[in-house]
Chains A and B, each alone.
Chain A
Amino acid sequence: MSKIEVKHLAKSFKFAKQPLLNEVNFNLEENEIYGLFGENGAGKSTLMSMIADYNRPSAGQVLFDGEEVHENDEALSEIYFMNQDDMYTKKDKVSQIFSFVESMYQDYDVDLQEKLVKEFRLDVNQKLNKLSTGYQSIVKIIISLCVPCKFIMLDEPTLGLDARNREIFQSNLIETYSENPRTFVISTHIIDEIDRIISHVLLLQDGVIKMNGSIDDVSSKSYSISGPAEDVNSYINGVKVLDEEQLGRYKTVHFMDQLPDREVPASVDIEKMKLQKLLVYIMDRGRL
């Protein structure tokens, strides 16, 4: 099983007051779907660009199966980074770009590409620079899902996509993952849409990985309790609450702890705290 190891990775920019990334350590295992989260400017895109060897870190190393990724053709051919920059020739037609990518990757999935082109209703005879922002993202998404790489990193894949196309992306991501398992790392701010897809959570904050765990572990001890205010209050009496919302008599509280050892009132609903809520809390408070 292949693995990417990120070890003591750091990145500083000239004239910046403090480093962007400082002692980032984590592993990417094969055949998992990771969600990479963090505030704006946290360094998610920079982190992914260093894993793909687009940029050099100030310190640390990225290893693929124990070997440095830097200047390693074998490792780099197994890593694909879909980023927000314009990397392909803008004056080329979409069909020409697809032909070029097919010539670069021996096992490029042409059948899946054709299927996705139909579903997204993409006009492949258009030049890339004539497409809307959303459709330029769609071209990148199609290529990302069709390349035969073991590790695929998607930086804001749904940027500019309407609801219909986001749904197509998510369903095809799950389908292609089921048929051909490989590792996806998805960086997005639309957490609610991908929390049902991902299996692992990575939270980047203050230059380090603040959270690194399976989604089951992360959500196992975080709950949202809703119901009439007096019933909720009586049930969670003594529990340290992270956040609460009240609308009239109806109250919702969020906490990270074991459930209280008392009878649950019939009017109270208990569910796992939504990942977005949890991450926003952690980003706000800066602690687990």
Chain B
Amino acid sequence: MKTKALAKQYCHDFIPYIWYGLVVSVVYILFGLLSADGAPSIGYQLKASFFMAPYIITVVTMIGISFNYRRFKLAMQSGVSRKTFWKAKMLFIAKATLIVNVVNVIISFINMKLGPSETYLYYQAYGKAFSNVFAQSISMFITDYVVLLFIFVAMNTFGTMTSLMNKIGKSIFYSIGVVCYMFFTNLLTQYSSQRLISRFYSHINGDAIFNFIFSIDAKVPRPYPLIGFMIILTIIAALFNLLFTKLEQVKR
């Protein structure tokens, strides 16, 4: 009873982020139209900007999902254990993913009416998976759902981990993150690093792994291995989430 009630409250608190995502998408589209210098038509510019809307909504809602500490405080005030709080979080994330996925799919269908469906990654990879449009839509929905579920669980796990730190700890953590990012992007521009990565990739037979996960070389690529792989990653991320959640405490 408490798990469901908490998850419902978290969903209620999360809904505004979907609106924020829609607003940011609209702003992005409008800027896209405003920046059109007349060479491509307004209609083309609209199609070019519109397909980004689901991705923008995903990024904004990712941020909303990552906030963990205030959800933790609410759970503690309501007399639940950390494990029950974790269950409520997972239930909330599953529901939030469904809501965001429905919004994204609706926008995607609108965009497919405006322009070609090949702008979407799913159709680029699995456009020929099913001949039946209904089956194809269901497949797209489920694939998007599991990918989004993993992203949301991973983001909440990241938020849970950082909520264990104080302000100084977070500053150090993010500074290290920025430095690592700059270091690795610089490293990747160097030929010697690229050769090293390429050798390692060949050594572990990276092509075979990617082909299996994304069923790229299959006669009729289907998303089943990808769905299975994402579910496994989601379970791993959820277990890390539980580990971090058990360490949480209410700060004064």
Contact = CB atoms under 8 A, between A and B. Distances in A.
Interface of A is mostly: loop
Nearest to A89: B13
Interface stretch (A50-58, A182-190, A231-239, A267-275): A50-58
A40 interface: no
B76 interface: yes
A71 B79 CA distance: 10
Contacts of B78: 101, 104
B252 A87 contact: no
B81 interface: yes
Contact of A104 (B2, B81, B82): B2
B33 to A, nearest CB: 33
Interface stretch (A77-85, A201-209, A214-222): A77-85
Interface in B76-128: 76-84
B79 A89 contact: no
Interface in B21-35: none
B5 interface: yes
B74 interface: yes
A55 B248 CA distance: 8
B193 interface: no
Given A85-B250, A88-B74, A53 B8 contact: no
Nearest to B249: A55
B9 interface: yes
Contact of A73 (B5, B6, B8, B84): B84
Contacts of B80: 73, 76-77
23 contacts: A46-B252, A49-B252, A53-B76, A53-B81, A55-B250, A56-B249, A71-B83, A73-B2, A73-B84, A76-B79, A76-B80, A77-B2, A78-B79, A79-B79, A85-B250, A85-B252, A86-B73, A88-B77, A89-B70, A89-B74, A104-B5, A104-B6, A104-B78
Contacts of B5: 100, 103-104
Contacts, number: 61
Contacts of B249: 54-56
B13 A49 contact: no
Contacts of B9: 89, 100, 103
Interface residues of A, number: 28
A54 B76 contact: yes
A52 B250 CA distance: 11
A4 to B, nearest CB: 14
A56 B82 CA distance: 12
A259 B70 CA distance: 56
Interface in A242-269: none
Given A100-B9, A103-B8, A104-B5, A49 B79 contact: no
